[in-house]
Amino acid sequence: MKYTEKELNAFGLASESIPRHVAIIMDGNGRWAKARGQMRSAGHRAGVDALRDIIRFSSDSGVEALTVYAFSTENKKRPPEEIGVLCGLLIEYFKKEIDELDENRVRIKSIGDLSWFPENVQAAVLNAEARTAENEGLKLNIALNYGSQAEIVRAVKYAAAVARKENREPEKEDFEAGLYTAGLPPVDLLIRTSGEERISNFLLYQLAYAELYFTDVYWPDFTKEEYIKALTAFAKRSRRFGGLTAK
């Protein structure tokens, strides 16, 4: 259910300063678990719970697109057991959450090279995408085996091929049409949890003018209240896009 302006105001927010596109690097699941003497898998599981609330709040507060980094190309270097846990969680996630996501009109899309994943993971993701493809609510992008440099190379090739076919020079628009995020607004706000302050090969092109928000909180502890803090900080930033006037 969408919040009214009054409800947003009660959180200290206003619809005019809600970012159109939020991207999140969900970091710190492992350290969250370690701090509790638990297995890393428990951290990832708690991470999924945190994500559920953030998707819901994004949807209710009028964020247009949310892109989350669930599995980077570099994550493939992790031990097979941990990769297995993450794959299992993905399958479980799409099975358990799909009804609610669909009811809330969320459109799910994976970004990255899905072909690397086992068949059952691919099937779960493709099924979720197909079932929600016509939804007109929050556009939820889940980055899976995603790396921004590879995405850029792919988009350059796409732009070159399109232009060659039409016997002309490739343009910015051709390149952007070749990105996984084609058709979405650029990222307004990037959030990274767990105290790390890096971009880590995430949406390098799309982040060009994004406001960056870093917090020490580990991802499983990134609650709705923490999200509101990030959105409040975003609302206070003066965005000039290289010009002189604020907003």
Mark out the alpha helices in 19-79 (DSSP H runs): 29-35, 40-61
Using the rule CB under 6 A, is 110 a contact of ligand FPP?
Answer: no
Q: What is the 3-state secondary structure (H, E, C) of 109-176?
A: EEECCHHHCCHHHHHHHHHHHHHHCCCCCCEEEEEEEECHHHHHHHHHHHHHHHHHHCCCCCCHHHHH
Residue nearest to ligand FPP (CB): 30
Q: Which of 93, 146, 175, 180 binds ligand FPP (CB under 6 A)?
A: 93
Active site residue 135: no
Q: Which of 142, 155, 159, 179 binds ligand FPP (CB under 6 A)?
A: 142
Nearer to ligand FPP, 23 or 155 (CB): 23
How many whole angstroms separate alpha carbon 38 and alpha carbon 34? 6
- Residues 214-243 contacting ligand FPP, CB under 6 A: 219
End-to-end CA distance of the chain: 29
- Which residue among the candidates 9, 49, 53, 75 is catalytic per the annotation? 75
Give the x/- contact pattern for ligand FPP in 7-46, rule: CB under 6 A. Answer: -------------------xxxxxx------------x--
Distances (CA, A) of 69 to 131, 153, 178, 190: 22, 19, 19, 11
Active site residues: 27, 75
Residues that bind ligand FPP (CB under 6 A): 26-31, 44, 47-48, 51, 70, 75, 86, 89-90, 93, 142, 219
